[in-house]
Chain A
Amino acid sequence: MADTPRDENPAAAFEPDDQINPLGGGAVASGTLPSWFLEAVVGGAALLALAILLVTGSFTIVLLFILTFAVALPTAYILSRLTETRRQAFDRLMTLSIVAAFGVAVAPLISLLYEVVKRGVKGLDVAFFTESARGVIGAGGGAQHAIIGTLVITGVATLISVPIGIMAAIYLNEYGTGRLRRALTFFVDVMTGIPSIVAGLFAYALFAIFLGPGIRLGIIGSVALTVLMIPIVIRSAEEILKIVPNHLREAAYALGTPKWKVVTRIVLPTALAGLVTGVMLAVARVIGETAPLLVTTGVIDSVNTDPFSGRMQNLAVYAYSEYKDPGVDVQASYDKAWAAALTLIVIVMVLSLLARWIYRRFGTDLR
């Protein structure tokens, strides 16, 4: 222990040079603003901005957002600088900036959802789910054929791509070594970047070789979606298999377990929830594809549940064609297009929620 006088007061040793604390107190006593300070500043700024905009008659949500933060950022900094330390004032400034950046990031999403819901509910009625568009030229009719088509095409695509994708991921993560593994990883990366219309044309060309030009079948659309889905399934499954701890594999090997059983009985069950989540997200990714289905499954107005015969409608193409070729009642067609978009969003949202629920409910704690 050094016996300088300064050591007798430990607090003095920590006193920062820029300590400005007009309210007094020791060196460690600071943070004099209440915990709801930032919320109060933002709320006040929002009210002020709202008043200004209403008076000038130029109210929009975007302007309100910009003005609120234009007022709140300097206000919070100055108020904090007057009562707290420089570091705390800067902390407040950065906290608000991050909140503003987050707002900018989610604003388009919220705006999009708002718009789709607002316009989509108009076209949603019981007939939308129970009737097809067969023989309908004006208002009325529904999108039952498109909903069924979307579910069938995406379902068949999932049935094809999940086994292929998961087995490929098992190869890459558990078996693959050297050049073949690197080549496969490279091609999976390339496949992830394939434009969806190219996948559609590929599937169409493949079937046109055997069934002649002009062929339109639900299964061709499924094959096109499979091309898009497989790399997504492989990537997500590979990531999940990677985080299955190696000590579990070793524990199984040490019991004299052959490799295939280690994979099927230990690795896959441990990773199951993550695999299901990955598949759900891959489905959500391809369920709204339009271009590849436009060229492969065609446009049709009546219900078709057989992917191996005849054209098949789906929600994305339905929305597109209702807008491109509206019926006699143009507004009714537009409403149905928005309703189809809303239905797609709801399906995707249900899938995502289901994926999250499965992960929480059945997920294995991998730590």
Chain B
Amino acid sequence: MHDTADTSTETGSTAVATDLARTTEAAKGRGAATVERMAKRCSVKDVNLYYGDLHAVKDVSMTIEPNQVTALIGSSGCGKTTVLRSLNRMHELTPGARVEGEVTLDGQNIYAPNVDPVEVRRLVGMVFQAPNPFPTMSVAENVAAGLTLNRKGISKSEKADIVERSLRGAHLWEEVKDRLDRQGSGLSGGQQQRLCIARAIAVEPEVLLMDEPCSALDPVATLAIEDLIEDLKSRYTIVIVTHNMQQAARASDVTAFFNLEAAGKPGRLVEMDATDKMFTTPSKKETEDYVSGRFG
């Protein structure tokens, strides 16, 4: 299904698999105590993404630096979300979707033939456009979902610690500490989205992907999430897709601009640079037109 055999040698991919397995073991071993951790560098090399016959994204190469916020901007349909979803192998869940090229996490190709996508997703968490807490679970169960679903033999007190730590990390603890056993869907939209962020960071991923996390939220809730993102970048590599250019300018360190070559053609990466530079003196005319509101 994934045409990646030509991009990785056999020995290389074995090493990747064992390394991924080891990091997961390490993740399992991590307890409530905060451990000094390194976020991972994620690099994308010549990636082409398809939905069936539709060539959605063409020849994207970029490096996402650890402990920084990278914003992906661009008009609708240019493949930002598709690129984001290829970073934790969510892209292939869409029937007929394919990936060509190489995505590496600290040098390990996540598309190597013997890498388990489930393990990749344990390292690369994701927050979605619309808040999606599990409706059958309480607030606390939602936060602990990643642990209860995927880790065995975790003690109650340890779980409670992780729930509190994750909710504090998502700036939500004070608001929900008295209703941890209530339905997650009873919270407001902004609280639900922070609940989803808490759920994503509870499993201690290396990279956190956010797909337009504020598009369903009001300005106050948006600011709360942006503060949170600023906070989280000391511990994670963060990639955020956004339609809101002020948000990209405010919240990100690096910005990548995607655009369609022409209508009906696949999307591609136009340029990627420090956010300050992208919004003041971008090196491409196309970018300048987009960020200044003149569409090319």
Give Cα distance in the complex from A258 to B126, angstroms: 15
The answer to the question of B275 belonging to the interface, with a C-beta cut-off of 8 Å to chain A, is: no
**Chain B residues near A255 (CB-CB < 8 A):** 121-122, 125, 145-146, 149-150, 199-200, 203
A253 contacts B149, C-beta separation under 8 Å: no
B185 lies within 8 A of A266 (CB): no
Chain A CB within 10 Å, residue with most, of B123, B145, B199, B200: B145
| Complex contacts, A258 vs chain B, CB 8 Å | 118, 150
Beta-carbon contacts under 8 Å, B144-160 to A = 145-146, 149-150
Chain A residues near B95 (CB-CB < 8 A): 177
Which residues of A lie under 8 Å from residue B200 when comparing CB positions?
Answer: 254-255
Q: Is the interface of A mostly helix, strand, loop or mixed?
A: helix
Assembled-state Cα–Cα distance A238/B200 (Å): 30
Report yes or no: A261 in contact with B132, Cβ–Cβ below 8 A: no
Q: Smallest Cβ distance from A335 to chain B, in angstroms?
A: 49
CB-CB < 8 A to B145: which residues of A? Answer: 252, 255
Q: Counting CB contacts under 8 A, is B196 at the interface?
A: yes
Are B90 and A256 in contact (CB-based, < 8 A)? no
- Which residue in B88, B123, B149 is a CB contact (below 8 Å) of A257? B149
B137 CB to closest chain A CB (Å) equals 9
Q: Please give the distance in Å from A181's CB to the nearest CB on chain B.
A: 11
Give the residue name and chain of the A residue nearest to B119 (CB): A256
Residues on B with C-beta less than 8 A from A251 are 128, 132-134, 196, 199
Complex CA–CA separation, A207 to B125 (angstroms): 55
| Nearest CB on A from B227, distance (A) | 23
B150 to chain A: which residues have CB within 8 Å?
Answer: 255-258, 261
Residues on A with beta carbons closer than 8 Å to the beta carbon of B21: none
Judge if A163 is at the interface, Cβ distance under 8 Å. Answer: no
B118 to chain A: which residues have CB within 8 Å? Answer: 256-258
Within 8 A of B (CB), among A239-291: 245, 247-248, 250-258, 261, 265-266, 269-270, 272
Which residues of chain B come closer than 8 Å to A364, judged between CB atoms? 135-136
Q: Indicate which residue in A253, A272, A365 contacts B93 across the interface (CB closer than 8 Å).
A: A253
Determine if B121 and A254 form an interchain contact, defined as CB atoms under 8 angstroms apart: yes
What is the CB-to-nearest-CB distance from A267 to chain B, in angstroms, rounded to a whole number?
10
Instruction: Out of B119, B120, B125, B149, name the residue touching A252 (CB < 8 Å).
Output: B149
- B228 close to A (CB within 8 Å): no
Task: Indicate if the CB atoms of A256 and B122 lie closer than 8 Å.
Answer: yes
Residue of A nearest to B89 (CB): A253
- The verdict on A98 contacting chain B, using a C-beta distance below 8 Å, is no
Within the complex, the shortest CB–CB distance from B269 to chain A, in Å, comes to: 23
Interface size on B, residues (CB 8 A): 28
Interfacial residues of chain A within 13-69, with CB under 8 A of chain B in the complex: none
How many Å lie between the Cα of A104 and that of B287 in the bound state? 67
> Which range contains the number of A residues in contact with the other chain?
20 to 34
Inter-chain contacts of A177 with B (CB < 8 A): 95
Which residues in A have their C-beta under 8 angstroms from that of B125? Answer: 254-255
- How far is B145's CA from A266's CA once the two chains are assembled, in angstroms? 10
B residues near A256, Cβ cutoff 8 Å? 118-123, 146, 150, 203
- Which residues of chain B are within 8 angstroms of A209 by Cβ–Cβ distance? none
B130 at interface, CB cutoff 8 A: yes
Nearest Cβ on chain B to A343's Cβ, whole angstroms: 37
Nearest B residue to A257 via CB reads B149
Inter-chain CA distance A245–B128, complex, in Å, is: 13
**Cβ A270 vs Cβ B90 within 8 A:** no
Return the chain B residue nearest A177 by Cβ: B95
Interface flag for A105 (CB, 8 Å): no
Closest B residue, CB atoms, query A247: B132
A256-B203, A261-B150 known; A250-B185 Cβ under 8 A = no
Whether the Cβ atoms of B134 and A261 lie closer than 8 Å is no
Contact (Cβ within 8 A) A270 B146: no
Write out, one digit per residue, whether chain A residues 312-337 have a CB within 8 A of any chain B CB (1) or not (0). 00000000000000000000000000
Q: A344 CA to B128 CA in the complex, in Å?
A: 50
CA distance A209 to B283 in the complex (A): 82
B128 closest partner in A (C-beta): A247
In the complex, residue of chain A having the shortest beta-carbon distance to the beta carbon of B126: A254
Q: How far is it, in angstroms, between the C-alpha of A254 and the C-alpha of B208 when the chains are bound? A: 10
For B146, what are the chain A residues with a Cβ–Cβ distance below 8 Å?
Answer: 255-257
In the bound complex, how far is the Cα of B93 from the Cα of A177, in angstroms? 13
* Chain A contacts for B119, CB-based, 8 A: 256
Q: Is A126 an interface residue (CB 8 A)?
A: no
Q: Flag whether A109 is at the interface (Cβ < 8 A).
A: no
Please, how many angstroms separate the alpha-carbon atoms of A28 and B241 in the complex?
50
Q: Does A190 contact B (CB under 8 A)?
A: no
**Chain A residues with Cβ under 8 A from B185's Cβ?**
365
Q: Does A366 contact B (CB under 8 A)?
A: yes
Kindly state the separation between the CA atoms of A248 and B196 in the bound complex, as whole angstroms. 11
Q: Residues of A contacting B126 with CB < 8 Å? A: 250, 254
CA distance A252 to B135 in the complex (A): 12
Shortest A83–chain B CB gap in Å is: 49
Cβ distance B26 to chain A, nearest Cβ, rounded Å = 14
CA distance A272 to B136 in the complex (A): 10
A residues in contact with B134, CB < 8 Å: 248, 251-252, 266, 270
Q: A248 is contacted by which of B88, B90, B121, B132 (Cβ under 8 Å)?
A: B132
Q: A255-B149, A257-B150, A266-B134 are in contact. Are A250 and B121 (CB under 8 A)?
A: no
Within 8 A of A (CB), among B192-246: 196, 199-200, 203
Decide: A254 near B90, CB < 8 A? Known: A247-B128, A365-B185: yes
Q: Encode contact with B along A295-320: 1 for CB under 8 Å, 0 otherwise.
A: 00000000000000000000000000
Question: What separation, in Å, do the CA atoms of A253 and B119 have in the docked complex?
Answer: 10
CA gap between A251 and B118 in the complex, in Å: 13
- B-chain residues with CB within 8 Å of residue A266 when the two chains form the complex: 134, 136
Closest 10 pairs (CB-CB, A-B): A256-B122, A254-B126, A255-B146, A256-B121, A247-B132, A269-B136, A251-B132, A364-B135, A257-B149, A258-B118
10 A–B contact pairs at CB < 8 A? A247-B130, A248-B135, A250-B90, A251-B196, A252-B149, A253-B90, A254-B126, A256-B122, A265-B149, A266-B136
Name B residues whose Cβ lies closer than 8 Å to a Cβ of A: 88, 90, 93, 95, 118-123, 125-126, 128, 130, 132-136, 145-146, 149-150, 185, 196, 199-200, 203
